[in-house]
Structure 1
Amino acid sequence: MMRKHFFLSAIASLAVFACAYAQSAAPTNDVRIDALMSRYTGNVAGASLIVVKDGKAVVRRGFGYANLEEHTKAGPETDYRLASVSKQFTAACILLLKQDGKLRLEDPVRKWLPELPASDGKITLRNLLTHTGGLIDYEDLIPADRTAQIDDNDVLRMIAAQNRLYFEPGSAHRYSNGGFVLLGLIVERASGTGLADFMKKRIFQPLGMEHTLMYEHGRGPEVANRAYGYTETKGKWTRTDQSVTSATRGDGGIYSSVDDLAKWDAALYTNKLLNAESRKLAFTPTEPIADPDVDFGFGWRLSGDTIWHSGESIGFNNVIIRWPKQHIAVIILTNRNEFQPYPLALTIGESFLDR
């Protein structure tokens, strides 16, 4: 769900475009957005975009198609698989349980998941939240010939069978999808409630995120207004919506829309869900950090004045970028493998900043 430095080449190419574009006659917002989002326009797998400034949507658009086979256009209400953008919600669940007095960030992970081996004895919940636990990547443990999807309990069993770590907990940083799968299981054990229900009752319903859910195939409601993932090969779009790892939850299982994520962005300025202490924890850089340009909070990346996270899985590429000092957010959700939208969202957002 993460490719290190995935956006560097895209930033360079987009910068060339943006520079040339800036030299042309000053366009209206609609024309400028149309130009920047042109790769998603037409009979192609699409995208949804929202730009929020001072609590109001100043851009709210859909491009291309959410479902190519049924010719369903993408719109602001279209629900996409968030992939790793889901992590900030899993982290918020842990912080809510901390506020409830149900757990502590310094709790050893084995307090909640005693199935884990002795090698994991020093890993804390804080380590999992900040990718500093040293867990072995579960993706590397999946048999090459496996075709059935794995679930969270499969991930727990695979990690529990590894009596080893990449490094001493807290001594280094390595992005870990498995850590957030385990956090999702810990939410269930600490709350006594299923992860999907906990998120619905404690986050989605209070914020009016009516079309957002932690998707559990065969166990819960289907996704309304669903976008399906696609891959383009030699000009032909093929549906590539699910993979072996698409059924795990805490690291990437939420479906949502840009409309609903704008409500989430608004809540992060208030005490409606997370109190001031929790929000400070979520948005504070944690050492050590492997990348000098990107710090990590709890389910968020921190770069300069921005708080952001991307999400990619087969058929989906997404990003949310927030400029909290200027009350601006840009959210782009897409249903295609090709092109990382981070540099595009950055370019769009910077055009709305007060200079």
Structure 2
Amino acid sequence: MSRISSIAVLLAILAFDADAASARAEDSPDGGRIAQRLLDTLRETNGVPGMAAAVWRDGRIIWDGASGQRDLASGAPVTRDTLFRLASVSKVFTVAAVARLAEQGRIDLDAPVQRQLPWLGANWPAITPRQLAAHVSGLPHYQPVDATRGSRRYATGRDAVAIFAGRDLLSPPGTAYSYSSWGYTLLGAMVEQAAGRSFPDHVAAEVAPGLAIRADATDSGDAHAARAYGFDQGRVIEAPRHDYSYTWGGGGLGGTASAVAAFGGRMIDGRVVRPESFDAMLVPVRLADGNLAGEDGYSVGFGWRIGVDSDGAAFVHHNGVTLGARSTIGLWRGERTAVSLLSNASWVSRMEPTAQMIAAPFRAVPAGLVSAPCPRGARRYSGTFGDSAVAGVVRFRLEQGLCIGIAEQHPAMRAYFGTAPQRTDAALTIVGLDARGGLARAGLVNPFGIADLRAQADGSFAADVTATRRLVLRFDQPGR
């Protein structure tokens, strides 16, 4: 970290202390206030221009948050109506469209795609829609030859399929998991064939009617569409124009955070496909050798990623990343709760744990939390970050009833986070989730997202910042 950055962090901590005297512990924030604090802090920490999130529960959107700017040039803010690129979150709309058409007898999930698309003409073994949805068809993902794929408009899904129809499969169908957006281009073409209209039009009319879900509008001039950004060594840059007509079904849709969360809620409520169809979509797919299809700790069903959250509750989700977008949708079907998180830049992140923390203020408090007071007297922390010993300055205060802490990054943290292109030098922020000011559980906001920080029985606090980096902290408390 440069001397200037170190001074900036120290000034932020000093300003934080100066503000502490005006905080009112008697203000008891509701879930929306906590979620908004988490969202705003995340955006400030990672430098993403604009973000939005929403939580659906029991039939309605109960919180809809917006933060930052949708357009840096004009200064236009993100609002509840801002349309973001959904990237691969588009895939859950695609599998819903396919499953709905299957219910109507217009697509056969287990019949070869070649039989259902007579024009395909590809020299492949038989591939089924079910295999395409689970990424076990053997079709490749984008390859170097596809580098300019967003430079032209494709009139139909059939035209887009021609891009890869002559390529070899990576493996025999059903034998290996290999993520493929081209497979979803093919599913989108099947939807168009069965429905008799364009894929985006069919999704808007039949899969997400009344919701702000449509073809990506980023470069269309739509007044509600967010601009697309990226990063170059921490500096925000505008992403080049990109046409997603080559894969509407794989990553070409756009929408608002509330529309994405509401779609998840409709899936839970059986309003998109029948409950028994959704049951079948959430059955993990097995490969020919009996192993489950999937990676990174989740298995894959009919498009959805199937796993559990940090407390073992069943959680299904899908993430997305593309030029100018990072996105996720997650469902706790048993709790009738859905969450979405969207952003207008591509950044290195842990999206599903971050979305889970955004939704945490609206869910039941997990059992077994260790009670811990806000360590307002602490001035330093010590502990471990992965295998590295860490220590640094920390300050806590009560802010509208919440325990809030700011901790400077140790060099080991800066080195780890610094591998990402987005801003990575911001101090870590600890946002307690207890409206009474305790610190049994908190969101640890860091450059890669929001980690679940929890008090431990030995007096320490721990969070899995990434799958390979656990942070354990102890806060000194003079006089104790």
Normalised-by-shorter TM-score class: 0.7 to 0.9
One-letter code aligned to 1:165: L
Does 1:64 pair with 2:68? yes
Q: Superposition pairs for residues 105-124 of structure 1, below 5 Å?
A: 105-117=109-121, 119-124=123-128
SS of equivalent residue, structure 1 residue 60: strand
Question: 1:87·1:250 contact (CA, 8 Å) conserved in 2?
Answer: yes
The answer for the alignment partner of 2:231 in structure 1 is 232
Cα displacement string for residues 88-130 of structure 1 (whole angstroms, at most 9, x for unaligned residues): 1111111111111112101211123345456423111111111
For the aligned residue pairs, the C-alpha RMSD in angstroms reads 2.8
| Aligned equivalents of 1:245, 1:204: Cα separation in 2 | 19
Q: Superposition pairs for residues 280-319 of structure 1, below 5 Å?
A: 280-288=279-287, 289-291=293-295, 293-304=297-308, 305-319=314-328
| Aligned equivalents of 1:32, 1:214: Cα separation in 2 | 28
Gaps of 5+ in 2: 1-24, 288-292, 309-313, 367-480
Q: 1:229 to 1:303 in 2, by over 3 A?
A: same
One-letter code aligned to 1:38: T
| Aligned equivalents of 2:97, 2:347: Cα separation in 1 | 31
Does 1:323 pair with 2:332? yes
Q: 1:223 to 1:86 in 2, by over 3 A?
A: farther
Q: Superposition pairs for residues 3-152 of structure 1, below 5 Å?
A: 28=29, 29=31, 30-31=33-34, 33-35=36-38, 37-41=40-44, 45-117=49-121, 119-142=123-146, 148-149=151-152, 151=154, 152=157
| Aligned equivalents of 1:280, 1:109: Cα separation in 2 | 23
| Aligned equivalents of 1:147, 1:32: Cα separation in 2 | 35
Q: Which has the higher contact order (CA 8 A, sep 6+)?
A: 1
The answer for the alignment partner of 1:212 in structure 2 is 213
Q: 1:314 to 1:261 in 2, by over 3 A?
A: same
| Aligned equivalents of 1:313, 1:138: Cα separation in 2 | 12
Q: Once the 2 structures are TM-superposed, how far is the Cα of residue 148 of structure 1 from its aligned partner? A: 2.4
Q: Once the 2 structures are TM-superposed, how far is the Cα of residue 252 of structure 1 from its aligned partner? A: 0.9
Q: 1:332 to 1:255 in 2, by over 3 A?
A: same
The answer for the alignment partner of 1:264 in structure 2 is 263
One-letter code aligned to 2:53: L
Question: 1:131·1:174 contact (CA, 8 Å) conserved in 2?
Answer: yes
Q: Choose between structure 1 and 2: higher strand proportion.
A: 2
SS of equivalent residue, structure 1 residue 306: strand
Q: Once the 2 structures are TM-superposed, how far is the Cα of residue 138 of structure 1 from its aligned partner? A: 3.9
Task: With the length of structure 2 as denominator, give the TM-score of the two structures.
Answer: 0.62
Q: 1:321 to 1:272 in 2, by over 3 A?
A: closer
| Aligned equivalents of 1:74, 1:111: Cα separation in 2 | 46
Q: 1:342 aligns with which of 334, 352, 361?
A: 352
SS of equivalent residue, structure 1 residue 249: helix
One-letter code aligned to 2:162: R
One-letter code aligned to 1:51: V
The answer for the alignment partner of 1:255 in structure 2 is 254
Q: Once the 2 structures are TM-superposed, how far is the Cα of residue 244 of structure 1 from its aligned partner? A: 6.7
Q: Once the 2 structures are TM-superposed, how far is the Cα of residue 335 of structure 1 from its aligned partner? A: 0.4
Q: How many correspondences in the alignment?
A: 324
| Aligned equivalents of 2:333, 2:217: Cα separation in 1 | 32
| Aligned equivalents of 1:76, 1:246: Cα separation in 2 | 26
Q: 1:215 to 1:347 in 2, by over 3 A?
A: closer
| Aligned equivalents of 1:193, 1:98: Cα separation in 2 | 16
Q: Once the 2 structures are TM-superposed, how far is the Cα of residue 234 of structure 1 from its aligned partner? A: 4.4
The answer for the alignment partner of 1:22 in structure 2 is none
Does 1:183 pair with 2:193? no
| Aligned equivalents of 1:292, 1:239: Cα separation in 2 | 30
| Aligned equivalents of 1:155, 1:37: Cα separation in 2 | 39
Cα displacement string for residues 268-315 of structure 1 (whole angstroms, at most 9, x for unaligned residues): 123332112321122221113142721112221111210100111011
| Aligned equivalents of 1:200, 1:293: Cα separation in 2 | 32
Q: Once the 2 structures are TM-superposed, how far is the Cα of residue 330 of structure 1 from its aligned partner? A: 1.8
Task: With the length of structure 1 as denominator, give the TM-score of the two structures.
Answer: 0.82
Cα displacement string for residues 301-338 of structure 1 (whole angstroms, at most 9, x for unaligned residues): 11121010011101100111111111222211000112
Question: 1:214·1:249 contact (CA, 8 Å) conserved in 2?
Answer: yes
- Identity %, equivalent residues: 27
SS of equivalent residue, structure 1 residue 110: helix
The answer for the alignment partner of 1:159 in structure 2 is 164
| Aligned equivalents of 1:225, 1:313: Cα separation in 2 | 19
| Aligned equivalents of 1:74, 1:216: Cα separation in 2 | 15
Question: 1:285·1:295 contact (CA, 8 Å) conserved in 2?
Answer: yes
One-letter code aligned to 1:313: T
Question: 1:138·1:155 contact (CA, 8 Å) conserved in 2?
Answer: no
The answer for the alignment partner of 2:207 in structure 1 is 203
Cα displacement string for residues 245-269 of structure 1 (whole angstroms, at most 9, x for unaligned residues): 6753110111100121232122112
SS of equivalent residue, structure 1 residue 250: helix
Q: 1:231 to 1:138 in 2, by over 3 A?
A: closer
Question: 1:44·1:68 contact (CA, 8 Å) conserved in 2?
Answer: no
Q: 1:31 to 1:125 in 2, by over 3 A?
A: closer
**Greater CA drift, 53-62 or 71-80:** 53-62
Gaps of 5+ in 1: 1-24
Q: Once the 2 structures are TM-superposed, how far is the Cα of residue 160 of structure 1 from its aligned partner? A: 1.7
